[in-house]
Amino acid sequence: MNFDFSDDQKQLRDQARKFLTEKCSPKAVRVVLDGKAPYDKELWKGLAEMGFLGVAIPEEFGGAGAGHLELCVIAEEMGRANAPVPFSSTVYLAAEALLIAGSDAQKKKWLPAIASGEAIGTLALFEGKGNPSPKSIKLTAANGALNGVKKPVADGAIADFAVVAARTGSSGRESDISLFLVDLKGGGVEVKSLTNLDPTRGQAEITFKDCKAEPLGAAGEGWSILTQVLDRAAVLCAFEQVGGSDRALEMGRDYALDRIAFGRQIGSFQAVKHMLADMYVSATLARSNSYYGAWALSTNASELPEAAAAARISATQAFQHCAKNNIQVHGGMGFTWEFDCHMYYRRANAMALALGSLSYWEDQLIDRMRKKNAA
Amino acid sequence: MNFDDTPQEAAFRETARKWVEANAPKEFLAELSKSSLGRIRLAQHDIVDVGKAWQKKKAEGGWACLHWPKEYGGRGATPIERVIWQQEEGVYGKLTQPFQIGEGMCGPTVMAFGSEDAKRRYLPKLASGEEIWCQLFSEPSAGSDVAGLRTRAEKKGDNWVVNGQKIWTSGAHYSDFGLLIARTDPNVPKHKGLTMFFLDMKSPGVEVRPIKQANGMQEFNEVYFTDVVIPDSQRLGAVGEGWSVSLTTLMNERMSIGSRLATGVPEMFEFCSNLTLEDGLAIDDPAVRSKLASWAVKSSGLKYTSYRAISALSKGERPGPENSIGKLVSGMMLQDIASYAMDLQGAAGVLTGSDEETVQGQFQQMLLSSPSMRIAGGTDEILRNIIAERVLGLPGDIRVDKDVPYNKIPTKGR
């Protein structure tokens, strides 16, 4: 059994950590947090130059052709650094949708542009409140034109193209849903930025009015493709969340060692020690579940749906837990804008909703476990 | 990243599998395969008798304590080979319960501190299950603070004379030998006045009394010592070095790698899949699903955490500290699951069945037994301290009795 990343993959992790420590300091994150830039363009360019944006994109489409395990490694570091770039939208959602369902021409057009940092992509799925479901998709596609409104769309205001989920039938079945590819710089699109919990990753409302779109994948296959995309993204997001959990735990630990109260390090009080120990437990469970997700993702195993849901739930819980208690360990200072704790708290709680909420994934996990037990 | 054996591991697994297939007591397979959340019982047989027979067979085949050196009853196997053996032994491993304290704690201590004669005399019989060992550490007033123990050992000529009381001793009533830590000098601070011994449990003056537990069962014992004579040759480590010897004992408790702790999750999943509530099956209820999912990911998280440890062993590395979370997570989870399963039964949840194997009584028994899971082998609080101090590097507790002579430490709160 070798349920661990390889030495090469660990080396890649070290390289990514070093790069992000230099190029993505909390100070750099704050430029986006404070609304001075929509995302960190320099960092995005650097990520492209390092080959991180295309790490899982095949060489024939301009990527590094490494694989999903390597992408998991990068994702963890992006989460640690709280990177203010459209990485998850572009790399986990748009690129994966193209890899799963794109035609050769579509892949040739967009994937090299993603790898080189020239194109930002996203997935336009949600239409207001609610979790992913075929029923919730009202935006229509007819005669190659889209009509309807998507919100929230992660990184929608800075994206060059979007994968859009649209209704192409009214049978009440999953086959009513098809996917389309839209060049957001073309006509028929109106984009509005929305304020949100985590300003380091933008959210937008996109209105499509007779917008020209080309199909992505076969008609009626949209929901099945989306499910696969969301499962893959669940594993990759889980690694970001694991990275964020670890960083929040470290921040809390370091502060507990530095801060003196009642004449001693606050980390010597059991109330604080035990809180940090519980954070470690959550982070460890999340990491182990995510490793299993990484294995399933990288081998395209039949266990992926269950593994992805477990990784997603465990990592969401861990990041929320660690980010929340990191503030608690810091006391009043943790509640200042000046300290970085709130950036992780914001990111943890925004990520918890990004692919559908925790309760949605809990529901998915139970369905998938039942399916397996029945088989 | 893969779950495959190396060719060498695969060959070892094949050998182990074939041996188990040819030798295991298959007449107990069905009974052992049933889920069991607590101690194992066999309907018609004493677990100790059946366990001894299986252990003896294993010893003859070279599978008992296989990670021990050959001259002491093992087969000199690597840590990963031991894990593979445990996987292949499967449910028959439940039969080894009476020997686990001996294998996991007493044996390694004798191995580290015993004389060559003692090792050759005691270890092979411990390995083969012919002689069972128990561990005599905890006392009524020394649980988490075990170094505060009171049992006295006084030197008389070439012997030590022991007086005092131990508690929570699993298997004392069927054990042949015990590993005993006692106070040999009350005039120095508590950690410095301890010495480790082993003794024949049939020695005059040793009295074993079963404890009736909060769950109504009797699994643990109190052991009383009245002028019990132990030869100095049965001392392990130097006089006054008992504390550091005991740390070796506790460090060797690495049984959890590869052998999974019960979490109650499969039982709960099955229960919810079959329980009909007013609006349909419990498993279709959103609140139930949410809780089930949270427990399921803890359970899978523990499983894959142990896989990470096994992977480290496979590479010949020392497993990281991750495995320390196992009992902490599973103990609390068992208690929560039991409580929720009863909640789902409404007022009827109060009814207990006759035994824990029937569905009716399963969760009720689990509720009553689960507090011990959070206490035995390190309380939740001690485990959190260990994680905080050894893994996260936080400061140790401030110990007000650290430099105080033992006999000057207060013994009453008020």
- Nearest C-alpha of chain B: how many angstroms from A198? 25
| CB proximity A103 to B under 8 Å | no
Owner of token pair 């994680």: B387
Q: What is the residue-level pLDDT of chain B in tens, covering all 414 positions? A: 989 999 999 999 999 999 999 999 999 999 888 766 656 778 888 999 999 999 999 999 999 999 999 999 999 999 889 989 999 999 999 999 899 999 989 999 999 999 999 999 999 999 999 999 999 999 999 999 999 999 999 999 999 999 999 999 999 999 999 999 999 999 999 999 999 999 999 999 999 999 999 988 888 999 999 999 999 999 999 999 999 999 877 776 544 554 567 889 999 999 999 999 988 999 999 999 999 999 999 999 999 999 998 898 888 887 777 777 998 999 999 999 999 999 999 998 898 876 544 556 889 888 999 999 899 888 999 999 999 999 999 999 889 998 999 999 998 888
Q: Respond yes or no: is residue B222 known to be catalytic.
A: no
Same domain, A342 and A238: yes
Fill in the amino acid letter for A303: E
To the nearest whole number, what is the mean pLDDT of chain A? 97
Q: How far is A321 from chain B (nearest CA, A)?
A: 13
Residues 255-314 of B with CB under 8 A from A: 269, 273, 283, 286, 289-290, 292-294, 296-298, 300-305, 307-308, 310-312, 314
pLDDT of A281 strictly over 80: yes
Hey, is the C-beta of A298 within 8 angstroms of any chain B C-beta? yes
A232 and A289 fall within a common domain: yes
Q: Are residues A162 and A281 in the same domain?
A: no
| Same-domain status, A209 and A244 | no
End residue of a domain, out of A220, A246, A263? A220
- Nearest to A275, CA basis, from A207, A328, A341: A328
| CA separation for the pair A214, A179 (Å, rounded) | 9
pLDDT at A277 over 90: yes
Chain B residue with minimal CA distance to A276? B388
From A118, A141, A164, the end of a domain falls on: A118
Residues A233, A327, single domain; the answer is yes
Residues A153 and A67 in one domain: no
Give the domain CATH number at A175: 2.40.110.10
Provide, as residue numbers in chain B, all residues whose Cβ is less than 8 Å from the Cβ of A249.
392
A142 domain-assigned:
yes
Quick one: how far is CA B204 from the chain centroid? 28
Q: How far apart are CA A14 and CA A18, in angstroms?
A: 6
Report yes or no: A90 at the B interface, CB cutoff 8 Å: no
Q: A314 at the B interface (CB within 8 A)? A: yes
Q: Which two tokens stand for residue B240?
A: 């006054």
Q: Which amino acid is at B281?
A: L
Q: Is residue A308 part of a domain?
A: yes
Contact A93, A237 (CB under 8 A): no
Closest by CA position to B31, among listed B97, B87, B94: B94
**A122, β-bridge pairs:** A162
Task: List CB contacts (< 8 A) between A268 and chain B.
Answer: 394-398
Domain co-membership, A234 together with A330: yes
The CATH number given to whatever domain includes residue A316 is 1.20.140.10
Q: Distance, in angstroms, between B385 CA and closest chain A CA?
A: 7
Helix axes A41-49, A7-23, angle to 10 degrees: 150
List the single residue in A3, A257, A298 with the smallest CB-CB distance to B394: A257
Closest-approach residue (CA) in chain A for B309: A3
Q: Is residue A114 part of a domain?
A: yes
**Is residue A48 pLDDT above 90, yes or no?**
yes
Q: Which residue of B has its CA nearest to A274?
A: B384
Question: Closest chain B residue to A308 measured between Cα atoms?
Answer: B297
The range of the structural domain enclosing residue A283 comes to: 223-374
Confidence (pLDDT) at B253: 57
| pTM exceeds 0.90 | yes
- Pick from A293, A330, A322, A296: nearest CA to A310: A293
CB-nearest to A284 from B305, B307, B397 is: B305
Q: What is the pLDDT of residue B255?
A: 45
Rounded alpha-carbon distances, angstroms, from residue B222 to A221, B52, B133, B212: 68, 24, 15, 10
In whole angstroms, give the CA distance from residue A199 to residue A205.
15
Contact B236, B198 (CB under 8 A): yes
How far is it, in rounded angstroms, from Cα B223 to Cα B401? 27
Question: Quick check: A10 contacting B, CB < 8 Å?
Answer: no
> Residue B106 is encoded by which pair of tokens?
């007493």
Among candidates B300, B308, B391 on the partner chain, residue whose Cβ is nearest the Cβ of A280:
B391
Separation CA A61–CA A110 (nearest Å)? 9
Do strands A260-261 and A264-265 pair parallel, antiparallel, or not at all (unpaired)?
A: antiparallel
- How many other CB atoms are there within 10 angstroms of residue B217's CB atom? 17
A175/A273 same-domain check: no
Chain A residues 149-208 with a CB less than 8 Å from chain B:
none
Shared domain for A195 and A249, answered yes or no, is no
Contact at CB, A2 and B384, closer than 8 angstroms: no
- Three-class SS of residue A85? coil
Domain end marker among A199, A220, A241: A220
State CA B203 to chain mean position distance. 25
Number of A:B CB contacts under 8 A?
161
Q: Identify residue A52 by its one-letter amino acid code.
A: F
- Cβ contacts of A289 on chain B, cutoff 8 Å: 297, 300-301, 304
Q: Does the beta-carbon distance from A268 to B396 stay under 8 Å?
A: yes
Chain A residues within 8 A of B286 when measuring between CB atoms: 359, 363
- Closest-CA distance, B397 to chain A, in angstroms, reads 6
Same domain, A204 and A301: no
Across the interface, do B388 and A273 touch by the CB < 8 Å criterion? yes
Hey, what are A131's tokens? 């979790």
The answer to whether B384 faces chain A, any CB pair under 8 Å, is yes
Catalytic residue among B253, B267, B270, B381, which?
B253
- According to DSSP, the β-strands at A177-183 and A214-216 are antiparallel
What's the confidence (pLDDT) of residue B254?
Answer: 47
Provide the pLDDT for residue A230. 98
What is the rounded distance in angstroms from the CA atom of residue B225 to the CA atom of residue B149? 14
pLDDT at residue B318, as a whole number: 78
pLDDT, residue B79, reads: 85
**What is the per-residue pLDDT across A131-163, written as a single tens digit (0 to 9) for each?**
999 999 999 999 999 999 999 999 999 999 999
SS3 A177: strand
- Rounded mean pLDDT, A253-270: 97
- Alpha helices per DSSP H over chain A: 7-23, 26-33, 41-49, 68-81, 87, 95-101, 104-115, 222-258, 270-299, 304-330, 341-354, 358-374
Please tell me the distance from the alpha carbon of residue B180 to that of residue B205, in angstroms, as a whole number: 14
**Residue A2: inside a domain, yes or no?**
no
What domains are there in chain B, each with its CATH number? 7-131 (1.10.540.10), 134-247 (2.40.110.10), 265-378 (1.20.140.10)
Judged by CB atoms closer than 8 Å, whether chains meet at A373 and B315 is answered as: no
CB-based contact (8 Å) between A262 and chain B? no
Q: Would you list the DSSP string of A4-73?
A: S--HHHHHHHHHHHHHHHHH--HHHHHHHHTTS-SS-HHHHHHHHHTT-TTTTS-GGGTS----HHHHHH
- Residue at A1 is within a domain: no
Q: Do A330 and A251 share a structural domain?
A: yes
- Chain A residue at shortest CA distance from B325: A281
User: pLDDT > 70: what percent of chain A?
Assistant: 100
Residue A200 within a domain:
yes
pLDDT tens for A309-324 read 999 999 999 999 999 9
Q: How is residue B236 written in tokens?
A: 């392990």
- CATH number, domain with residue A111: 1.10.540.10
| A200-228 pLDDT tens trace | 999 999 999 999 999 999 999 999 999 99
Within this chain, do residues A362 and A306 fall inside the same structural domain, yes or no? yes
Q: What is the DSSP secondary structure assignment for residue A120, as one 8-state letter? A: -
CB spacing of A314 vs B297 below 8 angstroms: yes
Domain count, chain A: 3
